[in-house]
Amino acid sequence: MTSPETHHTGTFDTATQGSGLGAFTGTSVKRVEDHRLLVGDGRYVADVVPPGCLHAAFVRSPFPHARLTGIDTSEATRLPGVVSVITGSDIEELTNPFLPFLALPGLYTPLYHSLSSERVRFVGDPVALVVASSRAVAEDAAELVDVTYEVLDGIGTIDRALDPESEPIWPRAKNNLLYDRTTDHGDVEGVFADADHVFTETFRCPRQSNQPMETRGILVEVDSVTGAVSVRAATQAPHMLRWQIAAYARKESGPQSIRSFLTNPERRGAFLAAAKAFVGDKGEALQSSDSTAMQHQLKTEPRTALQMVRTGAQLLGRDDYPHVDADDIGGGFGAKGSVAREEIAVAAAALAIGRSIQWIEDRMENLMDGGQAREEELTLSIACDADGTVRGLDVDLVLDQGAYPGNPVGAPITVRIMEVMQPGAYRFEAFRQRSRIVATNKGKYVAYRGPWANETWARERMINVVARRLGLSQTEIRRKNMYGDEDWPAAMLTGPALDVTCSVRKTLERAEELADLDRLDALRADAVSRGKRLGIGFASYHEAAPGPPDYFEHVNPGTSALLDQPATASVSVDGTIQIWTSQMPHGQSHETTYAQLAADQLGVAIEDIELVYGDTSRAPFDLLGTGGSRGGPVGGGAVRKVGRHLRSVVVAKAADMLEASVDDVTIERGNIHVAGVPARGLTYAEVAARVVADGETVDGRDGTYAFSVDDTYTSAGDGGWSVATHVCWVEVDVETGIVEIPRYLVVEDCGPIINPAIVDGQVRGGVAQGIGAVLYERAAYDEQANPQASTYMDYLIPTATEIPRIEVDHMETLSPGENDHRGVGEGGMIGAPAAITNAIEDAIGVTVNDQHLPPYRILELMGIIRPD
């Protein structure tokens, strides 16, 4: 499976990983998922249409910013096939507003509903929901809903949003600057005054959009007899969706919800016990959270307090939460980690009407409202000495979050991660960051594969700017200033610990070896002879995947506990083995890699492991689901831990049956036996049968099991950095501005690899999206915030013919951690934009301040055409 251009350095030995039980971990086992998906046996939300199911379409604002002055649904309601038309004011009666999830000190977070009723804030803002017998009829009716608007000034750029006189999108925030905070680390003034040089550049990244193959979608089924609600959805976080539907999609009056809380002793008892346990575990962490954040929120949006009490009481008082099931998912890249306003509106409609409703987003909706990302402007100043020693870093970041906040993951947490990671693996003496979040009339900002990546992009661009001005090479300046093995233990200026896993400089040195730099001049000359300019770009980074144990406390104090990962392992009464994860696979190959980890713990084959996920009545609870490159390190850690735990209880029973000491019992190919006596072994089925015969079965997650064990893996237990150096070669056609990539190299270190082919795929997929960001993809808006790319004719995604071969070289630095696999889902996307833009700058010899470089922009930068 491993491609010819993949190369491994470093050593890998399963025995060093504390397992020594099997041979699957570390090999390119073929993906378990592939056959099902390739032959069309996958089951996506659109594939499930129960009898009598209704279909939804949204009426959406055609204006970026307007007051909604009237809405007439009468004609739409009369159309045959239409069951209901629900407006924004209906939804205010039916549902609770969304509440802030992560508060930051000084951040304004609005309260808002799933449909807008008084003001629309971007093109695509939903104002009504049509429920009809088919999607086509629903769309026909949506056209008949008569909405009157009073158009307001649309805010389409960061500059316009920063203008204090701009029309406030959230009037309670007074203007469109929602967050502004400056933090100093070290003696910033002193270092900048003392350094030989200070260089400053501004870097701009336009909006991109997460573009999974499958758009968003939800099916809310209502049992016509019992009224029970079950949900299927394309979601990265089923438990989060379940809680939000329970919290928002039905509104109880305050007194009613408190009454039901008080009259439900079982629920109340369970809650109090859980709260006590949580505070017991995490009391210290909770104390470190910043209470000024909530104080600010209550000052600017006092209704928050009332809504939190009311929604909280409703959540705790009810015991009829919907059941959420997510099956196959066609990608998400972070966008499906958000709960969509549409999902809450559809759930509310199904509850109100008492009928099942399906909504499958179309691509135009997806491009307007499915999630956009990465629109940031960063001004970086680096103070350095004449020899190229970088000393001080000053960053002014403005993030454009669009109209509505991400829910729950969006701009605030991204800003925090950007700030913590901004200094990178460089030995700065002082660092200052000013971070601002602005509102504009655009689609909402969500997490997109390496959401904080622009800190890497801007820093790695700026390092190259400094190198050029001082006459140093790209690699020289990096080698000179990066942390290396002589520095450990160390810590970033922003707090997180650095250790041997921060092997960035080693990947740089390895990349230099592989890059054939002595051939560079010949390549440049050859390109010139063909009317082209060749350039090379390096970029290096480390990312927290999961990061050291103290990492998340530096990002957002008091919330580390959210990152814990539960898992269950069980043996059925018939002897089959299940691993239950709270991870929600949507392309990452969990069924394969977790089977590899578990099979090695349990001494069985891959095929013997069934992975259970996605169904909230079965999967362990975890609000975040899959995201943040946590599947390998934290989810995988939980699988390894619970697998070992299950092995110990199975071995104990088997030892009893074999009349042997547990220390003498081993498992090979499913044969549980005394070491050296395989002929007298037991199968899992035989051990399970004895458990049943002895009346020792246990309650598992959804019934009776021979064995069932639970564990929680905390990311603070092990940890470490995932790192890489990317090298990109570009050829720029000086006549057309077309950029080609003749070679692309990634040297990465994510620790010991579970499955090399899957890691290669993750790296290459990420690089492809980085190529998309620089050369093709732009969620463009005009100054007034009218979208300019709402179909695939204008939002260009690179296809196979645009992506070059991507060489991947693996280094596998080991750390003392028990579960040493580090995340690799996001890194490709984090490194690529910097490497590509650095290469383009090298090719054209002009400072590159934009991340998005379509052909016309290249020729503008080269002075060949004049900007419009």
Partner 1 sequence: MKAPPFAYARPTTLDGALELLSTHADSKVLAGGQSLLPVMNLRLGAPSLLVDISRIPMLDRIVVDDDGAVTIGALVTHTAVEGSADIARHAPLVAEAAPYIGHRAIRNRGTCVGSIAHADPAAEMPAVCLATDAIMISTSTHGDRVIPASAFFTGFLDTALRDDELLAAVRFPASPPGATGSVVEVSRRHGDYALAGLVCRLVVERGTITDAALAYFGVGPTAERVPEAEALLVGSDGRGPALDRAVEAVEATLDPPSDVHGTTAYRRHLAGVLCRRGVADAIARSTEEVA
Decide if residue 863 touches partner 1 (CB under 8 A). no
**CA 848 to CA 860: how far, in whole Å?**
11
**Which amino acid is residue 253, in one-letter code?**
S
- Residue closer to partner 1 by CB (options 112, 122) is 122
Q: How far is the CB of 13 from partner 1 (least distance, A)?
A: 44
* Token pair recorded at residue 724: 């890489």
What stretch of H or E contains 23?
A: none
| CA 745, chain centre distance (Å) | 24
Cβ pair 238, 325 in contact under 8 A: yes
Q: Which of 287, 704, 736, 847 binds partner 1 (CB under 8 A)?
A: 736
Q: Which of 738, 740, 804, 814 binds partner 1 (CB under 8 A)?
A: 738
Rg (the chain; Cα; Å): 28
- Residue closer to partner 1 by CB (options 201, 860) is 860
**Which amino acid is residue 531, in one-letter code?**
G
Q: Which of 93, 159, 696, 735 binds partner 1 (CB under 8 A)?
A: 735
- Closest to 720 in 3D by CA, of 622, 635, 625, 818: 818
Decide if residue 864 touches partner 1 (CB under 8 A). yes
Is beta strand 430-438 parallel, antiparallel or unpaired with respect to 177-185?
Answer: antiparallel
* Token pair recorded at residue 301: 């949006």
Decide if residue 865 touches partner 1 (CB under 8 A). yes
Cβ pair 748, 812 in contact under 8 A: no
Cβ pair 376, 397 in contact under 8 A: yes
Decide if residue 804 touches partner 1 (CB under 8 A). no
3 state SS of 664: helix
Q: How far is the CB of 96 from partner 1 (least distance, A)?
A: 31
3 state SS of 432: strand
Cβ pair 19, 600 in contact under 8 A: yes
Per-residue x/- track, 763-802, partner 1 (CB under 8 A): -------------x-x-x-------xx-x-xx-x-xx-xx
- Residue closer to partner 1 by CB (options 154, 817) is 154
Decide if residue 846 touches partner 1 (CB under 8 A). no
- Residue closer to partner 1 by CB (options 374, 459) is 374
Q: How far is the CB of 866 from partner 1 (least distance, A)?
A: 5
Q: How far is the CB of 365 from partner 1 (least distance, A)?
A: 8
Cβ pair 806, 3 in contact under 8 A: no
**CA 134 to CA 51: how far, in whole Å?**
12
- Residue closer to partner 1 by CB (options 8, 857) is 857
- Residue closer to partner 1 by CB (options 125, 140) is 140
Q: How far is the CB of 780 from partner 1 (least distance, A)?
A: 5
Decide if residue 663 touches partner 1 (CB under 8 A). no
- Residue closer to partner 1 by CB (options 574, 794) is 794
Decide if residue 867 touches partner 1 (CB under 8 A). yes
Residues 105-164 that bind partner 1 (CB under 8 A): 134-136, 139-140, 143
| Sequence-separated (6 or more) residues with CB below 8 Å from residue 104 | 179, 181, 293, 412, 415, 416
**CA-to-CA separations, 596 to 29, 682, 706, in angstroms, rounded:** 8, 22, 22
Interface segment toward partner 1; rule CB under 8 A; list 170-178, 482-490, 757-765, 854-862: 854-862
| CA 505, chain centre distance (Å) | 26
Residues 364-383 that bind partner 1 (CB under 8 A): 364
Q: How far is the CB of 432 from partner 1 (least distance, A)?
A: 36
738 exposure class (CB count in 10 Å sphere: 0-12, 13-18, 19+): middle
Q: Which of 8-32 are b and which e, b meaning 16 or more Cβ less than 10 Å from the residue's Cβ?
A: eebebebeebebebbebbbbbbebb
Size of the site for partner 1 (CB under 8 A): 36
Cross-strand bridge partners of residue 57: 130
- Residue closer to partner 1 by CB (options 143, 526) is 143
Strands (E), 734-843: 739-749, 807-811
What stretch of H or E contains 335?
A: none
- Residue closer to partner 1 by CB (options 358, 540) is 358
- Residue closer to partner 1 by CB (options 223, 794) is 794
C-alpha atoms less than 13 angstroms from C-alpha of 532 in its C-beta half-sphere? 18
Q: Which of 191, 534, 844, 859 binds partner 1 (CB under 8 A)?
A: 859
Interface segment toward partner 1; rule CB under 8 A; list 277-285, 293-301, 400-408, 731-739: 731-739
- Residue closer to partner 1 by CB (options 136, 605) is 136
C-alpha atoms less than 13 angstroms from C-alpha of 230 in its C-beta half-sphere? 12
- Residue closer to partner 1 by CB (options 81, 190) is 81
- Residue closer to partner 1 by CB (options 252, 375) is 375
Interface segment toward partner 1; rule CB under 8 A; list 326-334, 503-511, 755-763, 856-864: 856-864
Q: Which of 223, 319, 362, 694 binds partner 1 (CB under 8 A)?
A: 362
Q: How far is the CB of 232 from partner 1 (least distance, A)?
A: 21
Cβ pair 625, 237 in contact under 8 A: yes
Q: Which of 18, 742, 804, 855 binds partner 1 (CB under 8 A)?
A: 855
Given the rule CB under 8 A, which residues bind partner 1?
Answer: 134-136, 139-140, 143, 362-364, 735-738, 776, 778, 780, 788-789, 791, 793-794, 796, 798-799, 801-802, 854-856, 859-860, 864-868
